[in-house]
């Protein structure tokens, strides 16, 4: 009687451990991006994502990661748009720290942010951000870029 | 004999039930966590980061921080050079730049890649962190085809992808900044912390601009960016040999226009030609130059005044 029970307990512990370990959470680290229906930049987008959104990792292929969103949508995102969240599902004790981790800073939108830029601008009235603001507004839409690549026989776009 | 079999059956049934329960529990926990994404500041304090470490180097600078550093570096570059205002040509440069960025190792960046032309005859290109990239009118005049422009922009995208700009920030500056940030997950700083953080930010910007405009990157970073240019350019479909053709035009060129920007901040073109040539040879079969691309380059460059 004893041996089978011990074996069962061990098996259950192993299975639960594997199941918990399998759920890896990623965090979107770019301002905005799209969840795509295939591991490529062009083609239909399934959902819009923003910085801080959490995604469940399902798999990966050629620099792309297959993920599930909070709303349950499954799609693909380029690996450069996400960071690994060190968030663990199990609650464990945490020693008191005096400095923040990159993940915490990213999630809270703090660190060098708009408030620091405003403070810096106030000290440096000689600097103009007019062209910086214009520059970041220059956008080549996905369809235009796809057309540019196609006409230039680039990127394997047919 | 029958008793152990019953026990095993019961154990198996129990295992199946437990596995289902565990799976449901994990899915539930996962969903709870995914659902909490919007509640950033509040969530941070309760999130467990057992495997995480406190920030210590340039690699720990977040995407958003890199963007804000890049914006101010861009403002400092734009204080030195006026912008060349030519919407059609600027859009063309942005199309070429975004094409090579898309096939780089870092196609996604916080606020995207953006390109501006500087109104100077100096031959130069500069990349601020965060994907804000500048090319001079003088450099555009040196380009004879889209391949050359693409490889030069891919070199700059390479600096951004490898975070060379952020590496210029002195370590002590980062240590200070990270310390002022503390561990409290608040989105707004008190005035004392903000003043200290602004000083650290200012120092970081000066470190980067000094490297970009005055001293230049070290040789290793330039060689790495050349290697990345070959890789990203060829991956996009551009003929990578264009970088060698461009560098050859710079050999022995000591005119004021070239000497002011490029020569001051880049290793000698001879060394780079050698290394880039080897990187191209290692690629195997590479894309060829394309008449349709050269034609649209010539049309766009014809508007250069």
Virtual torsion, Cα B277, B279, B284, B290, nearest 10 deg: -60
First-to-final CA distance of chain A: 67
Residue A22: name the closest of B43, B35, B25 by CA: B25
Find chain A residues with C-beta within 8 A of B65's C-beta.
105, 111-113
pLDDT (0 to 100) of residue A86: 55
Answer whether residue B162 shows pLDDT above 60: yes
- Which chain B positions have a beta carbon within 8 Å of A45's beta carbon? none
Query: Which pLDDT belongs to residue B265?
Result: 74
For the cut 80, the answer to whether the pLDDT of residue A10 exceeds it is no
A89, B30: Cβ pair inside 8 Å?
yes
The predicted-structure confidence for B107-159, as pLDDT tens digits, reads as follows: 999 999 999 999 999 999 999 999 999 999 999 999 999 999 999 999 999 99
> Per CATH, is A24-87+97-111 categorized as 2.60.130.10?
no
Could you say which of B71, B108, B186 has the minimum Cβ distance to residue A78? B108
Q: Which of A1-5, B48-52, B129-133, B175-179 has the highest mean pLDDT?
A: B129-133
pLDDT given at position B38: 37
Exposure string over A101-127, b if 16+ CB within 10 A, otherwise e: bbbbbbbbbbbbbebbbebbeeeeeeb
The residues, ordered by sequence, that sit 6+ positions from A150 with a Cβ below 8 Å of its Cβ are A157, A158
Mean pLDDT of B188-208: 88
pLDDT of A12:
56
Find, in chain A, the residue whose alpha carbon is nearest to that of B182. Answer: A99
DSSP structure string for A83-150: EE----SS-------SS-BHHHHHHHT-SS-HHHHHHHHHH-TT---HHHHHHHH----HHHHHHHHH
- Which positions ≥6 away from B283 have C-beta within 8 Å? B230, B231, B234, B240
Q: Cβ distance A78 to B107 under 8 Å?
A: yes
Give the closest-approach CA distance of A59 to chain B in angstroms.
Answer: 16
How many residues are recorded in chain A? 158
A116 with B43: Cβ contact below 8 A: no
- Residue B290's pLDDT is what? 96
DSSP assignment letter at B210: I
How many residues can be counted in chain B? 305
The residue ranges of every structural domain in chain A are 24-87+97-111, 113-158
Consecutive H or E run containing B20: helix B2-35
The residue to which tokens 């290394």 are assigned: B275
pLDDT at residue B45 tops 70: no
In this prediction, residue A99 carries a pLDDT of 55
What's the pLDDT tens digit per position in B226-276? Answer: 999 999 999 999 999 999 999 998 887 777 666 666 666 777 888 899 999
If one compares B259 and A120, the residue with the highest pLDDT of the two is A120
DSSP summary character for residue B195: H
Average pLDDT over chain B reads: 84
Under the banding of pLDDT at 50, 70 and 90, the label for residue A75 is very high
What pLDDT score does B37 carry?
39
Q: CA B185 to CA B303: how far, in whole Å?
A: 51
- Rounded Cα distance between B14 and B1, Å, is 21
């Amino acid at each position: 009687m004893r041996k089978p029970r011990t074996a069962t307990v061990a098996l259950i512990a192993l299975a639960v451990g594997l199941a918990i370990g399998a759920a890896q959470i990623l965090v979107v680290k770019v301002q905005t991006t799209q969840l795509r229906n295939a591991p490529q930049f062009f083609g239909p987008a399934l959902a819009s994502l923003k910085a801080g959104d959490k995604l469940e990792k399902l798999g990966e292929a050629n620099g792309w990661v297959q993920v599930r969103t909070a709303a349950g949508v499954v799609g693909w995102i380029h690996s450069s748009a996400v960071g690994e969240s060190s968030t663990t599902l199990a609650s464990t004790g945490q020693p008191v720290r005096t400095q923040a981790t990159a993940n915490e800073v990213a999630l809270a939108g703090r660190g060098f942010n708009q408030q620091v830029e405003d403070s810096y601008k106030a000290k440096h009235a000689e600097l103009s951000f007019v062209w910086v603001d214009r520059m970041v507004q220059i956008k080549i839409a996905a369809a235009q870029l796809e057309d540019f690549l196609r006409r230039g026989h680039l990127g394997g776009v047919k | 004999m029958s008793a152990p079999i019953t026990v095993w059956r019961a154990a198996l049934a129990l295992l199946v039930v437990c596995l289902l329960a565990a799976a449901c529990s994990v899915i539930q926990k996962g969903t709870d966590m995914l659902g909490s994404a919007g509640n950033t500041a509040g969530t941070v304090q309760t999130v467990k980061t057992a495997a995480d470490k406190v920030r210590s180097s340039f690699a720990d600078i977040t995407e958003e921080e890199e963007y804000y550093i890049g914006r101010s570096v861009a403002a400092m570059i734009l204080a030195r050079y006026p912008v060349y205002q030519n919407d059609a040509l600027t859009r063309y440069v942005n199309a070429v730049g975004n094409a090579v960025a898309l096939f780089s190792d870092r196609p996604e960046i916080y606020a995207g890649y953006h390109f501006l032309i500087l109104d100077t005859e100096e031959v130069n290109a500069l990349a601020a962190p965060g994907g804000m990239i500048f090319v001079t009118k003088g450099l555009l005049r040196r380009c004879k085809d889209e391949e050359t422009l693409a490889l030069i922009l891919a070199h700059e995208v390479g600096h951004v992808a490898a975070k060379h700009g952020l590496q210029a920030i002195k370590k002590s500056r980062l240590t200070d900044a990270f310390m002022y940030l503390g561990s409290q997950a608040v989105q707004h700083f008190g005035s004392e912390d903000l003043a200290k953080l602004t000083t650290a930010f200012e120092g970081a910007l000066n470190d980067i601009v000094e490297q970009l405009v005055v001293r230049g990157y070290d040789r290793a970073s330039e060689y790495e960016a050349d290697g990345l240019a070959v890789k990203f350019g060829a991956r996009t479909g551009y003929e990578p040999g264009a970088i060698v053709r461009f560098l050859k035009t710079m050999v022995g060129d000591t005119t004021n226009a070239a000497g002011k920007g490029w020569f001051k901040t880049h290793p000698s073109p001879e060394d780079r030609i050698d290394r880039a040539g080897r990187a191209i040879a290692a690629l195997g079969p590479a894309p060829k130059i394309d008449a349709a691309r050269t034609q649209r380059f010539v049309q766009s460059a014809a508007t250069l005044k």
